Chains A and B, each alone.
Chain A
Amino acid sequence: MFPAAFDYIRAHSAEEALAALAQHGAEARILAGGQSLIPAMRLRLARPAVLVDLGGVKDLGYLREEGGDLRVGAMTRDVTLERDANVRARYSLLTDTGAVIADPVVRCLGTVVGSLCHGDPSGDWGAAALASRAVMVARSASGERLIPIDEFLVDSFQTSLEEGELAVEVRFPTPDGRTHGSYQKIERKVGDYATAAAAVQITLGDDGRVTHAGVALTAAGPRPVRVDAAEKLLLGQLLTEDVIRAASEEARIVSDPFADTRGSVEYKKDMARVLVARGLRASAARLGTGVTA
């Protein structure tokens, strides 16, 4: 299959990209890694009139820690995180997530920011960003603004980016030594979207009680879903099987998937429960404490 025709603009800087967006307005789409957009265009499910290619914007391809965050530029590929020793050592949630997105070849071109901007509720980065409380950085002619991920992810294939804005970065807060996470995904095969998936990240205090909790679901609603009730329930608790059971049950309740070839609503909801529980256990194991008896 072949995409519908479009105009192509290769930007060499963020400013050039912003100028192109200003000129073409809603007709233009940003092309970063292209691993979601181009397949959609090939099936003619997406038909942008203008593509603004960030491939030439070399200075957006960075990955660095700064100001207490891991900063991931708009042209940073999934594989860059996957291969980064620091990310692998400290950002267990992101490492898990990065290993199960699409397939390894797609991850060599796909970008983290591009995936978040695509806004697919079945995309894996959304839940990981929610659980780790990421922040998006949007740039426009009038400057930059920070958008908490909860506000950024609005609806299916819809973000809070405004016309003329370019997402240039996502920031993941750097976990301290008492923080770990896990991404648990059920997929029918490598390359499939999640049947169900859960992102979990927890911080334990010196007394072994949860001081911060992030719990979010993929493919469980019109956008990635934060499981508020589970997070609240976990705070201040020791990670016992009872607590895990109760928190994961909240995931089942809040999960609101649609039935498709991957499974029924009932199955997907129950898998949200199972995967949150597994994610909590895996996080506890990574923290060295394990599940409290």
Chain B
Amino acid sequence: MTATDTTDTTLRTVTLNVNGQTLHQQVEPRTLLAYALRDAGLKGTHVGCDTSSCGCCVVLLDGDTPAKSCTMFAVQAEGHQITTVEGLGGPGNLHPLQQAFWDQHGLQCGYCTPGMLMTAKAMLEHNPDPTDQEVREFLSGNLCRCTGYNNIVKAVQQAARVMRDEAQAQALAGMVPGTDPSTGTAGGGAQ
């Protein structure tokens, strides 16, 4: 084969761009992205099933596409910008979604939370002002056993409000020459 990259079943190095950092990870072609990320120390991405049902493993591809990282091989992820929950915000600089899940008691055991946050982030990229029903529909690929979802919906709506306000504040700040629209807002993610 001259025109394609071929691999065999021995370990090979993939280069993954995760949360703005470049990772070189040893994988087999069959290594699922979720495990490649976890083996790289990004343990916030969880695995809860074998059938692409639970969504605990959702990460973002290229900023706005949620992907079940247990249903994708690490080798497929080369060339994509990957965001995991660690890239959303840390304990000292929570993203509005993280803050809202905390405020609204949108988590209990925490196992589904990273995937839920990433799916919610992807939704708000495309639909910044969703109805409750739209939130429920977009999150329906992410299972939660603890919360019954009510508070998750509330949390996403709180975050959506905060993010809309931030966007508006940025837009207004941008109208004034000489000011940097990237400052003066709270929260914000790594992207």
A interface residues, Cβ below 8 angstroms from B? 1-13, 15-16, 19-20, 23, 31, 34-35, 38-39, 41-43, 51, 53, 55-56, 79, 83, 102-106, 108-109, 190-191
Q: Is the CB of B140 within 8 A of A34?
A: no
22 A-B pairs with C-beta separation under 8 A: A4-B30, A5-B9, A7-B7, A8-B6, A8-B75, A12-B4, A13-B3, A34-B71, A34-B73, A38-B52, A38-B73, A39-B51, A53-B76, A102-B52, A102-B141, A104-B119, A104-B123, A105-B67, A106-B141, A108-B122, A109-B68, A190-B140
> How far, in angstroms, from A19 to B3 measured CA to CA in the complex?
9
Given the known inter-chain contacts A5-B9, A9-B1, A43-B50, please indicate yes or no for A105 contacting B66, CB distance below 8 A: yes
A-B contact count (CB 8 A): 115
In the bound complex, residues from chain A placing their C-beta under 8 Å from that of B9 are 5-7
Decide yes or no whether B166 CB sits under 8 A from chain A: no
Decide yes or no whether B185 CB sits under 8 A from chain A: no
In the bound complex, residues from chain B placing their C-beta under 8 Å from that of A31 are 76
Q: How far is the CB of A25 from chain B (nearest CB, A)?
A: 14
In the bound complex, residues from chain A placing their C-beta under 8 Å from that of B4 are 9-12, 16, 19-20
CB closest residue in chain B, given A8:
B29
Top 5 A-B residue pairs of the complex, sorted by shortest distance between their CB atoms: A103-B141, A8-B29, A105-B141, A190-B140, A5-B9
CB closest residue in chain B, given A102:
B141
B residues 45-77 near A (Cβ < 8 Å) are: 50-53, 55, 58, 65-68, 70-73, 75-76
CB closest residue in chain A, given B10:
A5
> How far, in angstroms, from A103 to B67 measured CA to CA in the complex?
11
Chain B contact patch, size range: 35 or more
In the bound complex, residues from chain A placing their C-beta under 8 Å from that of B139 are 104
> How far, in angstroms, from A5 to B31 measured CA to CA in the complex?
9
Q: How far is the CB of B103 from chain A (nearest CB, A)?
A: 25
B residues 1-58 near A (Cβ < 8 Å) are: 1, 3-9, 28-30, 32, 50-53, 55, 58
CB closest residue in chain B, given A77:
B65
CB closest residue in chain A, given B72:
A34
Q: Is the CB of B76 within 8 A of A20?
A: no
CB closest residue in chain B, given A38:
B71
> How far, in angstroms, from A19 to B28 measured CA to CA in the complex?
23
